Structures are given as structure tokens and as C-alpha cells.
């Protein structure tokens, strides 16, 4: 069976796109033909990532904004609609994952994680949805949640809470945006090595996290980008309000516990 689709003529916003999963998603969408509006915290980071994408033959426009700032996100989306003429896909990817045991967790860090991961997703998705509704062409919204939404991980009580919030935010948006032909889904990645984001995590944790997938290999940013591409594609035309776990089977059960002893 040959399956082909193209995002040519469409505009995709990816927040936190300067590195890691966001850069992989922007690359995949760009290779499928979309023009990329690439957001990150600073103009330098957004422009450097766009230069990388342009070198790969992808049309890319940098948009610096802090997703915690609702007015800045609204202004960014307005600029995209004005300058690029449309917004078809929004990927709320920007996120942070500092790791601090619950008993030591300061309110400042709690707020930073919730503000970035949950409120930032709200800002991005609402601004994008409003632009899509105004244009009347429908759209697709994809939010990056995490496997941490389904089960707690030591030191990540704030992160888990923020990503569980993203799951229900996704479902709420899916209900209310379906009449506008806007599909909303979230991706729950397992552990994925990225150049910057995991720098603070213990090597022993990373080794174990890399080795747990029943599929027998660690996940890659491209695995997550492919899932995003699927959700943005016509193949997912009847999929909305769902959470797509992409973890090589890690959360399916305990692959290492074999009653027959093999």
C-alpha cells in the first residue's frame, strides 16, 4: 500500500522548536512541505534553528516569545497569520522538566513548571485556535504531554501534574473545537535523548530509561516527530481528543517479569 500526503501550502507553528523534540517535529513537518513558524524563548535560538531548517531546504520563520506570556503568544500568532497568511497546525511543544524531590520543591519552581508546560500550552492552543476559527479553514493542534502524565516519577511531581493537565486540556479543547473542524490531540513520549533538555538528569537514570522499551531500542526525536506527522495528516482525520503514547511499549506492562522464567 502506498500512502502519500503533503503539507505543502500549509503553515505549522512549533513552540520550543530550537532543539530537541521541537526541532525534530519542525524538520518533519517542513520535509512534508509545510512552512514553519518556529518559536523559542530568544530571537537567537529561534533564528539559529531556522537557519538549520533552511539548510535542509525548509521555509522557516523565527518567532521569539515566552509561552508563559499570553499577550506575547497572541501577538506572535497574529504576526504569523498576517505575514504568512494562514495557520493550519500548531504544536505546543515548549516545556521544561527540572527534577526536584517533593519535600524540597520551592513554590517558584512549581510555578515555573506549571506556567511553562500547562499555562504555556493553554496560551499557544487558544491563540492558534482563535486564528483557525477566524480563518474558517479548520486546523490541527498537537500538545506535547508525557508518559509522566500517567504515572509519577521521583522528583517530577510538578512536571507530572503539568503534563496530566495537558491531557485533560487536550480533551476539553477537542470537544469545543470539533465543530470548527479543528482536531486536538496530545503525544505522550517516553524517555527520549535530546541534546539540551536532559543535561541535568543522572546518567544512571538515563541508562535505565533508554533500556526499558520492549521494542528493544531507545526512542528518538524522529519517533516523536513521526507521531506528530501522523496526527497532522489526513490519516488522522477521525482522531481527536486522544493521547498517543510513543514509548516503544515501556508503559504497556513489565516486559522483564516473566513467570515462565525465560
Ligand X SMILES: NC(=O)c1ccc[n+]([C@@H]2O[C@H](COP(=O)([O-])OP(=O)(O)OC[C@H]3O[C@@H](n4cnc5c(N)ncnc54)[C@H](O)[C@@H]3O)[C@@H](O)[C@H]2O)c1
CB of 262: closest distance to ligand X in angstroms? 30
165 binds ligand X (CB under 6 A): no
* The one among 11, 13, 21, 160 contacting ligand X by CB under 6 A: 21
Collapsing DSSP to helix, strand or coil, 207 comes out as helix
Of 146 and 170, CB closest to ligand X: 146
Alpha helices in the chain (DSSP H): 20-31, 43-55, 70-84, 107-113, 120-135, 157-177, 203-210, 221-232
Closest CB to ligand X among 120 and 155?
A: 120
In the residue annotation, 205 being an active-site residue is answered as no
Site for ligand X in 143-162 (CB under 6 A): 144, 146
Gap between the Cα atoms of 235 and 3, Å rounded: 9
Q: Which residue among 41, 59, 178, 230 contacts ligand X (CB under 6 A)?
A: 41
Least distance between ligand X and beta carbon 57 (Å): 22
Which residue in the set 11, 12, 22, 132 belongs to the binding site for ligand X (CB under 6 A)? 22
By CB under 6 A, the residues from 74 to 93 that bind ligand X are 93
Beta bridge partner(s), residue 90: 13, 141
Yes or no: say if 191 and 211 are a contact pair by the CB < 8 Å rule. Answer: no
Pick from 179, 246, 250: nearest CA to 213: 250
Minimum gap (Å) between residue 253 Cβ and ligand X = 19
Please provide the DSSP assignment of 51-92 as one string: HHHHHTT--EEEEE--TT-HHHHHHHHHHHHHHHS---EEEE
Q: Which of 28, 60, 76, 94 binds ligand X (CB under 6 A)?
A: 94
Q: What distance in Å separates the CA atoms of residue 144 and residue 256, rounded to the nearest whole number?
A: 28
Binding site for ligand X (CB under 6 A): 15-16, 18-22, 39-41, 45, 66-68, 93-97, 116, 120, 144, 146, 189, 191-192, 194, 196-197
Amino acid at each position: 500500500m502506498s500512502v502519500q500526503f503533503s503539507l505543502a501550502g500549509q503553515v505549522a507553528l512549533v513552540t520550543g522548536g530550537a532543539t530537541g523534540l521541537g526541532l525534530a517535529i519542525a524538520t518533519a513537518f517542513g520535509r512534508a512541505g509545510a512552512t514553519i513558524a518556529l518559536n523559542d524563548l530568544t530571537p537567537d535560538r529561534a533564528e539559529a534553528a531556522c537557519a538549520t531548517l533552511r539548510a535542509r531546504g525548509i521555509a522557516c520563520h523565527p518567532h521569539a516569545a515566552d509561552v508563559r506570556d499570553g499577550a506575547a503568544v497572541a501577538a506572535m500568532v497574529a504576526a504569523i497569520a498576517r505575514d504568512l497568511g494562514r495557520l493550519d497546525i500548531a504544536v505546543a511543544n515548549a516545556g521544561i522538566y527540572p527534577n526536584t524531590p517533593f519535600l524540597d520543591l520551592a513554590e517558584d519552581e512549581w510555578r515555573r513548571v506549571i506556567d511553562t508546560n500547562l499555562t504555556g500550552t493553554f496560551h499557544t492552543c487558544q491563540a492558534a485556535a482563535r486564528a483557525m476559527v477566524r480563518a474558517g479553514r479548520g486546523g490541527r493542534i498537537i500538545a506535547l504531554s508525557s508518559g509522566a502524565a500517567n504515572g509519577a516519577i521521583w522528583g517530577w511531581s510538578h512536571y507530572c501534574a503539568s503534563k496530566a493537565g495537558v491531557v485533560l486540556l487536550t480533551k476539553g479543547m477537542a470537544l469545543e473545537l470539533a465543530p470548527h473542524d479543528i482536531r486536538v490531540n496530545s503525544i505522550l513520549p517516553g524517555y527520549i535523548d535530546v541534546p539540551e533538555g536532559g543535561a541535568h538528569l543522572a546518567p544512571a537514570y538515563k541508562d535505565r530509561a533508554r533500556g526499558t522499551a520492549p521494542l528493544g531500542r531507545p526512542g528518538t526525536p524522529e519517533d516523536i516527530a513521526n507521531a506528530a506527522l501522523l496526527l497532522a495528516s489526513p490519516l488522522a482525520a477521525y482522531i481527536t481528543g486522544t493521547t498517543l503514547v510513543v514509548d516503544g511499549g515501556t508503559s504497556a506492562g513489565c516486559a522483564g517479569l516473566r513467570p515462565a522464567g525465560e
